[in-house]
Copies of this chain bind each other. A is one copy, B any other.
Amino acid sequence: MLNVALVGFGYWGPNLARNFSSLPGCKLAYICEPREVRAQEAALLYPQAKVTPDYQKLLQDPEVGAILIATPVSSHYDLTKRALLAGKDVLVEKPLVADVAQGKELVDLADEKERIMAVDHTFLFTGAVMKMKELVEAGELGDLLYFDSVRINLGLFQPDVNVIYDLAPHDISILTHLYPQEPVAVQAMGARHPKHRQEHHAYLHLDYSGAFMAHLHLSWLAPVKVRRTLLGGSQKMMVYDDLEGSEKIKVYDKGVTITNGDLNSVYQVQVDYRTGDMLAPRIKHSEALRTEAEHFLDCVARRSRPLADGREGLRVVRILQASRISMQEEGRKVYLEELD
């Protein structure tokens, strides 16, 4: 039986509470929440948990095995560090931290303390992304050629972060999950409303050392809602449309075969086009967060590496940080090695 303690009962915390309180092999022992009203609500819904404004209590209780952190990003570094130092395993809300240097420190600390540190990249646990990963791993698509995602809508303008920080973490976590190699460089371009400080419409372009390329389009100010990712491979290509009811993933047996390709001579290139069947494989419909919670418990029990561990979380932070620099410098190509 693992005792877990939740910090933060705001927007996402209640979802963690609901899932972790109902999983077998796990007990929600504490909810730490400084805001009076939210704390009362937590107490009402989870009478079995101790509700407290004092984070130290959670850390001092030797019965608590893992801390779930669902607070604003700016507090992640401090809370996570203290939890690791207290010998707890941790599940942190995404993004892991706001700053690459802090992220590295946490990753090293978790290694040193031999603690499980997972980042809450919920999308990786959706049926759709699990199926994509499975197909990519099985080599169904051949070599990956590109990742192109669009996540746009008429959405809530955030006052303190731009649309890339708000929406792209989802897509970047999916991208790094499907194509783990780190990009070489990042370019970010965006538009701000004349009266607003943050870009509401933006593009993020990622260059890699090989032929692969990734591109993201994010917007809070679009007339239609689109959540679609194209994944091109040398053998097959895939479309992931998160708004589709039951056919979220479509695998197209389409592509080109280029033979006699000689880059010095145009005339010998022979391009053959293939168009075959399209398959929409069945997707599991279970709640992603529940699957993720089970996975976290399992990692804690077996002391095994979580799917989205600190290194994975750090990858996303690096790309975000490079995008911020590029945006400030008006689309300059920012090399990831600049961050080191």
Contact = CB atoms under 8 A, between A and B. Distances in A.
A145 B191 contact: yes
A213 B201 contact: yes
A287 interface: no
A95 to B, nearest CB: 20
A195 B273 contact: no
Q: Of A152, A222, A276, A281, which is in contact with the most chain B CB atoms at under 10 Å from its CB?
A: A222
Contact of A221 (B190, B191, B256): B256
A238 to B, nearest CB: 7
A110 interface: no
B211 A223 contact: no
A286 to B, nearest CB: 14
A261 B223 contact: no
Interface in A210-263: 211-213, 215, 217, 221-225, 230, 232, 237-239, 243, 245-247, 250, 252-256, 258-259, 261, 263
Contact of A207 (B221, B230, B330): B330
State the majority secondary structure of interface residues on A.
strand
Nearest to A285: B275
A173 interface: no
A238 B223 contact: yes
Interface residues of A, number: 68
Contact of A224 (B191, B207, B239): B239
Contact of A333 (B191, B211, B331): B331
Contacts of A333: 330-332
Interface stretch (A28-36, A154-162, A297-305): A154-162
Given A187-B331, A330-B207, A282 B271 contact: no
B189 A213 contact: yes
A205 B196 CA distance: 22
25 contacts: A145-B221, A146-B221, A160-B266, A187-B189, A190-B213, A193-B211, A193-B256, A193-B261, A194-B261, A196-B261, A197-B266, A197-B269, A205-B331, A221-B232, A221-B237, A221-B255, A223-B230, A223-B232, A223-B238, A223-B254, A225-B245, A225-B246, A277-B279, A277-B281, A277-B282
Interface in A149-185: 152, 154, 157, 159-160
